[in-house]
Structure 1
Amino acid sequence: MFPFNKKEVMDLRNRKKRKVSGGVRSSRRSAAARMKREAVKILRSLSVENNHVEVMDEEDNEDCFSSISFLRSDPSGPSPRYSLLREVGRGSYGVVYEAVARKTGARVAVKRLQCDAPENVELALAEFWALTSLENRHQNVVQLEECVLQRNGLAQKMSHGNKRSKQYLRLVETSLKGERILGYPEEPCYLWFVMEFCEGGDLNQYILSRRPDPQTNKSFMCQLTCAIAFLHKNNIVHRDLKPDNILISQKSGSPVLKVADFGLSKVCAGLNAKNGEEQLVAGAGTRGSNQNRVGNINKFWLSSACGSDFFMAPEVWEGHYTAKADIFALGIIIWAMIERITFIDAESKRELLGTYVRRGTEIVPVGEALLENPKMVLHIPQKARSSMSEGVKELLLDMLAVNPQDRPDALQLEMRMDQVTCVA
């Protein structure tokens, strides 16, 4: 995934369309985001020994790293707080490990992002701001336990709302200036995210490894709409909703969805409703102010064209959109989940859930096809033997409306989804 501007987005519409076995092209938001606020409070230090990660209590300090080495070779040192068990995911921007908290035995996910390239810093900061702006937990949103900034073997914990850390502000400067500010290749800088672990994999793996189950579909539809309603109430636009970014927890005995990967998200609490993203103060969101903006998120216009193309709304391709783009992406996910519409990713060779428009042997993302032909009629359900109810069909058509104003907002969607799943 890489940044691209509006002109590049429009040029993509003229490229050769994908074949059914074609891959997915993803994009990141532009590196020109306005970043000014947020900072870090130094609370703890972190050390690692081979496969161990440790966070220990430390007195508050104004602006310095802990003197404890991040890479510890002294066996007489303190017992590590986390033990890394195995690698569970890897991308161009980071690695995710399964780990265990040695004190409680609880499993956690530890994501390590290398903060050398500005686009990686931007992804990391976006995820940090989104998850730390939430005052309350939600069962369908992945929980961030802590975030640690590590450089040159030394570390400090990042926390919400403190502006005294020069190291953190240098990360912001790296993203703003689009060049390396913090450290050198021989002094790598990392952000470590400790998050809840989801042992059920992602939505692709869960759905496609099991037989169709209408009750599971209903439950997942309600959980997804509940999660998006919660995020929009808290002024967060996800901007990269797709099955890969929806994880499954089975700790309670029944599957619980967790919306994850907030690297492209936007916290809109600092937006000016007239000028949208141009007035955004990065990492916005003063904690405690969220509830004053419930219902206003759809008034904020965003301009960074980003996401994964099979799930991007028509207006996102043009680079002028609101939180209603999340509703469109959710409609694509639910449609693909119910009818098990898939394609093969050319790069990973994985079968992935995703709805598209077929043109002979080629496939085109629904949003792109609607942008090219706004009068195109979507055939929902797509399969003749689909068990989709009329209520669900009508709701999906509304979620996938070309005009964002014709789509329900997240709160309306949550109420309608409860209604259609009760009678479905």
Structure 2
Amino acid sequence: MKEQHDGGPRGCRRSAAGNMKLEAGQVLRSLTVEDNNRTKPEHDEEEDDDCFSISFLRNDRLDPGVAVSPRYSLLREVGRGSYGVVYEAIARKTGARMAVKRLQCDAPENVELALAEFWALTSLENRHQNVVQLEECVLQRNGLAQKMSHGNKRSKQYLRLVETSLKGERILGYPEEPCYLWFIMEFCEGGDLNQYILSRRPDPHTNRSFMRQLTSAVAFLHKNNIVHRDLKPDNILISQKSGSPVLKVADFGLSKVCAGLNCRNSEERPAAAADSKGSNQNNIVNINKFWLSSACGSDFYMAPEVWEGHYTAKADIFALGIIIWAMIERITFIDAESKRELLGTYIRQGTEIVPVGEALLENPKMVLHIPQKARSSMSEGVKKLLQDMLAVNPQDRPDAFQLEVRMDQVTCAA
């Protein structure tokens, strides 16, 4: 299974990586090292920021002579990708379980992925129950750390990260003094959508609930001018804190915040107004006016136009259609790299399986057989909605607002 990208970091996050594997029981510790209100010399770059000390020590090696206030205890590693590691942690002050993601900013492409996630999550002014919540983000370098805030032009550390991403060359951080971004987020104890669905018997009620939740999350993101660009079951987490499963869309490393973009931007330009016909939501109209050009994502969920590198937010609708179709009929494939069984719909061509988007790109007149399985209990309303979501022409797909309304109708009627 391959992932498409155009000379950048896009979409390549499956292989195990990371040179610093922390052991369970380590502690994320913060120390106030100075009075941040005092006057600082202009030449002292590292002291210009609101910093606090950060270190990673085993519990049984803490120096009893040092007065510290641990903030998070890292319990265990729960996930690893090509540019980051995720840990389960406990907030020492409240006892709440948290997810702590460590991203090493050792190369421009990794910085770009980290900043994309940071910008997407911090651009959301309101919370949504189906989007993973970021509590805080910390930038660590050379033993010093600083809480990150969006667009903080006073932070030289932050500006250096942005410069690294824009120039495509290393600006800060060396092997002897690595730079990391730490994301502290809500913890989802139910695993991802693959694990949840495939470890349980088929349940139409759960399917309908998940369909509404996923649609609501994507509508929320699009209304906030965020295109996710990597919707897949791996990036949909399950929280069970309320007693019933609640989906959380996560992993915004490939996302694009479209607010404030203009025609002169090298990656975006306005699409035809007809792309959002019928929507009375201004934000939905706006986000569907921007064409994106970085062909990114995971191939089994990529829309035909993404394979060409010329697409809008409607690509998220296509990916969502693939996920829902696979979830309802429990269609799976074996990932060639991880050997895991994953939810995903595909087209058979002889002995090979081909992503639906790629197959539609090669043969736009191909008719998708929905449902795929003869014994499927899929209703006519859901079948028609999936066909519209997976239309080869993005202008024939509903936008996120229209989809939310139609999804409520077909799941209530089922």
TM-score tier by shorter-chain length is 0.7 to 0.9
Residues 261 and 192 (structure 1 numbering): CA distance in 2 closer, same or farther, change over 3 Å? same
Q: Which residue, 247, 251, 257 being the options, matches 1:257?
A: 247
**How much has 1:28 moved relative to structure 2?**
4.7
TM-score normalised by length of structure 2: 0.87
**How much has 1:272 moved relative to structure 2?**
1.8
Deviation per CA, 1:327-384, whole angstroms, max 9, x where unpaired? 0000000000000000111221110000000012100000000000000000000000
Deviation per CA, 1:262-315, whole angstroms, max 9, x where unpaired? 0000000021268673479xxxxxxxxxx9634311011101110000000000
Q: Which residue, 164, 167, 177 being the options, matches 2:157?
A: 167
Whether the 8 Å contact between 2:258 and 2:290 is mirrored in structure 1 is yes
Deviation per CA, 1:221-265, whole angstroms, max 9, x where unpaired? 000000000000000000000000000000000000000000000
SS in 2 for 1:182: coil
Q: Distance in 2 between the 1:399 and 1:67 partners? A: 48
Residue equivalent to 2:49: 64
Q: Which residue, 4, 25, 50 being the options, matches 2:2?
A: 25
SS in 1 for 2:135: strand
Whether the 8 Å contact between 2:133 and 2:185 is mirrored in structure 1 is yes
1:51 partnered with 2:40: no
5+ residue gaps, structure 2? 11-22, 38-46, 271-280
**How much has 1:167 moved relative to structure 2?**
1.1
Q: Which residue, 145, 163, 166 being the options, matches 1:155?
A: 145
Whether the 8 Å contact between 2:79 and 2:87 is mirrored in structure 1 is yes
Moved over 6 A (4+): none
1:308 partnered with 2:309: no
Residue equivalent to 1:211: 201
Whether the 8 Å contact between 2:101 and 2:184 is mirrored in structure 1 is yes
Q: Quote the RMSD (CA, aligned, Å).
A: 2.2
Q: Which residue, 302, 305, 311 being the options, matches 1:321?
A: 311
**How much has 1:172 moved relative to structure 2?**
1.1
Residue equivalent to 1:363: 353
Q: Which residue, 78, 81, 94 being the options, matches 2:84?
A: 94
Residue identity over aligned pairs, in percent, reads: 84
Q: Which residue, 225, 231, 251 being the options, matches 2:215?
A: 225
Residues 248 and 151 (structure 1 numbering): CA distance in 2 closer, same or farther, change over 3 Å? same
How many residues are matched? 377
Q: Distance in 1 between the 2:83 and 2:337 partners? A: 17
Q: Where in structure 2 are the equivalents of 1:326-345 lying within 5 Å?
A: 326-345=316-335
* Letter of the 1:293 counterpart: N
Deviation per CA, 1:3-54, whole angstroms, max 9, x where unpaired? xxxxxxxxxxxxxxxxxxxxx2224565499xxxxxxxxxxxxxx9961113
Residue equivalent to 2:111: 121
Q: Distance in 2 between the 1:279 and 1:327 partners? A: 20
Residues 215 and 56 (structure 1 numbering): CA distance in 2 closer, same or farther, change over 3 Å? farther
**How much has 1:180 moved relative to structure 2?**
1.2
**How much has 1:74 moved relative to structure 2?**
3.4
**How much has 1:66 moved relative to structure 2?**
2.9
Residues 131 and 182 (structure 1 numbering): CA distance in 2 closer, same or farther, change over 3 Å? same
Whether the 8 Å contact between 1:54 and 1:80 is mirrored in structure 2 is yes
Deviation per CA, 1:188-219, whole angstroms, max 9, x where unpaired? 00000000000000000000000000000000
1:195 partnered with 2:180: no
* Letter of the 2:27 counterpart: H
**How much has 1:70 moved relative to structure 2?**
2.7
SS in 2 for 1:142: coil
Q: Distance in 2 between the 1:136 and 1:361 partners? A: 47
**How much has 1:144 moved relative to structure 2?**
0.3
Q: Which residue, 67, 70, 74 being the options, matches 2:63?
A: 74
Q: Distance in 1 between the 2:163 and 2:80 partners? A: 26
Q: Distance in 2 between the 1:300 and 1:307 partners? A: 18
Q: Which has the higher contact order (CA 8 A, sep 6+)?
A: 1
Residues 394 and 160 (structure 1 numbering): CA distance in 2 closer, same or farther, change over 3 Å? same
Q: Distance in 2 between the 1:399 and 1:59 partners? A: 55
Whether the 8 Å contact between 2:101 and 2:183 is mirrored in structure 1 is yes
Whether the 8 Å contact between 1:49 and 1:71 is mirrored in structure 2 is no
Whether the 8 Å contact between 2:30 and 2:53 is mirrored in structure 1 is no
Residue equivalent to 1:277: 267
Deviation per CA, 1:118-154, whole angstroms, max 9, x where unpaired? 1110110000000000000000000000000001111
* Letter of the 1:52 counterpart: V
Residues 392 and 179 (structure 1 numbering): CA distance in 2 closer, same or farther, change over 3 Å? same
Residue equivalent to 2:13: none
Residues 50 and 341 (structure 1 numbering): CA distance in 2 closer, same or farther, change over 3 Å? closer
TM-score normalised by length of structure 1: 0.85
**How much has 1:113 moved relative to structure 2?**
0.4
Q: Distance in 2 between the 1:253 and 1:158 partners? A: 33
* Letter of the 2:233 counterpart: P
**How much has 1:415 moved relative to structure 2?**
0.2
Q: Distance in 1 between the 2:140 and 2:48 partners? A: 14
* Letter of the 1:110 counterpart: V
Q: Distance in 2 between the 1:209 and 1:249 partners? A: 16
Whether the 8 Å contact between 1:233 and 1:295 is mirrored in structure 2 is no
Q: Distance in 2 between the 1:418 and 1:201 partners? A: 26
